[in-house]
Structure 1
Amino acid sequence: MDVRLLKFFIAVYEQKNLTRAAEQCFVSQPNISNGIKQLEEEVGKTLFERHKKGVELKTEAHYLYPIAKRLLGELNGLNGFFNEREFKNKIQIGVADSLPQEHKQQFFRTASKLCESVEWNTKEIGRENEINLLVREWKNEEDLFLPLWKEDYVLCIPNGHHLLNKEVIDLKDLEKETFIHCPSCEAHIQCLSILNNETNKMTTVANCSSKTETLTMLMAGLGVTFLPEAFIDGWYGFEVKPFNGPRYFREVGLAYPRKSLRNPAIAKIIEYFSKNELKANKFDDFAYSLKTTS
């Protein structure tokens, strides 16, 4: 069906007058009359009854009008349908708890610039996500893993604690100290085994379900603990002391099944971070690094 005929029909229906409809469509009245006649032949129904003062709307016209408006609206919408900003690159991503804000915001800032009009759907980490931002130990065994940054675990001592008088804390200094633990932490088993084997006198004052709760107990002064360095940045009520002992660290990155690379946005993100380091709090470096890799 000719789109022009729908425009003529809508104009006549709304104006209830052929002359005014012709003016609205910027055509002559004979063009409007012939167009309506052609439309009526195509649908096999009489839409208007002509009379001296205008036209009378038939039942069929009332039925056709909302359909014509919808069809014409959809056709007009095609003009901007393929505009680049109309299509969003959609990514469902799981984000682990206790990751530092400055690293997360830099990742999303960089990834959004890479993919332009990306639409993020953030979830808890899990198999249903296309990609997960998490600690290496938490990824699914079959997933690929792209590291983005490493964080050292540091020894945190609450304010007023006697160990703050020492410049460097040795492993033996931790004997008889009360510890705040996070059993779900990726470094917990390693830390616990070393402390138990070396001191044999460690006292557990709290077992927390998350690093955030561990931080709360630390700030409350209940005991000492190890936490990721970037995670504790900006908090108060404790100090980080140099520790002469085993080094604990965690590796954070992107875990994803190979099939997720079918998503062009994810493929672009993986390609970029395979060649470029994530630089937290260095937003100006993005433009330069993007130019050097393009």
Structure 2
Amino acid sequence: MDIRQLKYFVAVYEQRSISAAARQCCVAQPSLSAALLQLEQELEVSLFLRLPKGVTPTEEGDKLYGHAGKLLAQLASLKASFQTPAAKVRFRLGLIRALGVERMSTLLREFSQQIPGLELHLVEPDAACDARIITPAQQYAGEVLQPIWRDRYLLAVPPSWPLSLKPQISLSDFQELPLIKRTPCDAWELLYPELNRHNIQPAIRADIQTIEYALGLVSAGVGCALVPDFDSLKQRSDVVLKPVQSLTMERTIALAYRSNNAHPALPVLQQLCLNSSALLINK
């Protein structure tokens, strides 16, 4: 048993997904799976039950998580006790809404870990900042745009609805369809003109801002909602994600910064975003 195996185990335990844990740890999924299997063989227990969507810890997994968390925390504390406190590096990052909690948490954690003394301030995208994570439509003159992710929008449907059995959703299915509208939403800006052009009127049940609230209403059976195809959403059992036929609804998420920006932390963020983009291509 080694520290690397324990770090991988904790990541899988917290993410409830081997693929998500591999992305968090920046390691190939087969390597993480092999390390996890080796740990289980050494302890002679099963730490997780493999499910069609993700994993769930066993009783032995719950037991190991308590010990592993304490051990890793003690190790981090030990390392910190021998390190000279780094000078504070202030960085203001503007963020739009609905970027995906899992992937943004991973990106920001890696950014913080690679810049000693980083004091990260997350602000609205239109506030004064050192860099922004936005869509291309929000780019300012003089900004360089570096693509990170490309999201496809799908329709989240309550699993108990007959519509969830269809392989894809047609525009005609939106006629009087109970719909949770999100504002702002890139997909709605594309879908709404098409519905108008075909004289299709959905039944708007709510108009909200966040994906989390929209998914909560879908899960409760209030209506359907357009959401990005985040990996974490695909693993949920309380909503079903369906493509909309004959309509491409996508958005690009990019890092934006001034070409003359000389902030010392910016190159690190640029490289992390480049790594995320490469992982998406090789996915």
In the aligned structure 2, how far is the partner of 1:169 from the partner of 1:122?
A: 37
Secondary structure at the counterpart of residue 148 of structure 2: strand
Deviation per CA, 1:242-280, whole angstroms, max 9, x where unpaired? 432211112112122234x21111134325645763648
Q: Which residue of 2 aligns with 1:108?
A: 108
Q: Determine if contact 2:156/2:215 at 8 Å carries over to the other structure.
A: no
* 1:244–1:186 CA distance, 2 compared to 1 (3 A): closer
| 8 Å Cα contact 1:174-1:199 kept in structure 2 | no
1:156 match: 156
103 and 155 in structure 1: CA distance in 2 versus 1, 3 angstrom threshold = same
Residues 272 and 108 (structure 1), Cα distance of their counterparts in 2 relative to 1, 3 Å cut: closer
Secondary structure in structure 2 of the residue aligned to 1:264: coil
- TM-score after normalising by structure 1: 0.58
Contact 1:131–1:254 (8 Å) recurs in 2: yes
Output the amino acid matched with 1:186. D
User: Partner of 1:243: helix, strand, or coil?
Assistant: coil
Q: Which deviates more from structure 2 when the two are superposed, residues 197-206 or residues 143-152?
A: 197-206
**1:131 matches 2:122:** no
**Distance across 2 between alignment mates of 1:276 and 1:184:** 25
1:227 maps to what in 2? 227
Q: Residues of 1 paired with 2:210 and 2:110: CA distance?
A: 28
Counterparts of residues 77-92 of structure 1 (less than 5 Å): 85-92=85-92
Q: Which amino acid aligns with 2:179?
A: F
Match of 1:209 in 2: 209
Q: Which amino acid aligns with 2:118?
A: V
Structure 2: which amino acid aligns with 1:172?
S
Instruction: Tell me how far apart the structure 2 counterparts of residues 276 and 180 of structure 1 sit (CA, whole Å).
Output: 30
Distance 1:215 1:137 in 2: 25
- TM superposition shift of 1:152: 0.8
Greater Cα radius of gyration, structure 1 or 2:
1
- Could you give the per-residue CA deviations for residues 13-37 of structure 1, whole angstroms, max 9, x where no partner exists? xxxxxxxxxxxxxxxxxxxxxxxxx
Instruction: State whether residues 149 and 251 of structure 1, in contact with CA within 8 Å, keep that contact through their aligned partners in structure 2.
Output: yes
Aligned-partner residue type, residue 251 of structure 1: T
> Structure 2 matches for 1:36-185, cutoff 5 A?
85-185=85-185
TM-score (norm 2): 0.60
Cα 1:128/1:97, change in 2 over 3 Å: same
- Structure 1 residue 262 corresponds to structure 2 residue 268: no
- CA spacing shift, 1:233–1:220, aligned 2, 3 Å: same
> Structure 2 CA distance, aligned partners of 1:140 and 1:244?
33
Match for residue 241 of structure 1?
Answer: 242
Structure 2 residue identity aligned to 1:188: W
- Would you say the 8 A contact 1:127–1:140 is kept in 2? no
- Give the partner amino acid of 2:110: T
User: How far apart in 1 are the matches of 2:125 and 2:174?
Assistant: 35
Q: 5+ unaligned residues in a row in structure 1: which ranges?
A: 1-82, 283-294
Partners of 2:178 and 2:152 in 1: CA distance: 22
* 1:144–1:256 Cα contact (<8 Å) kept: yes
- TM-fit CA distance, 1:123: 2.3
User: Structure 1 pair 138/97, CA: closer, same or farther in 2 (3 Å)?
Assistant: same
Task: Give yes or no for contact 2:95–2:134 (8 Å, CA) kept in 1.
Answer: yes
Quote how far apart the aligned CAs of 1:163 are.
0.9
Identity %: 19
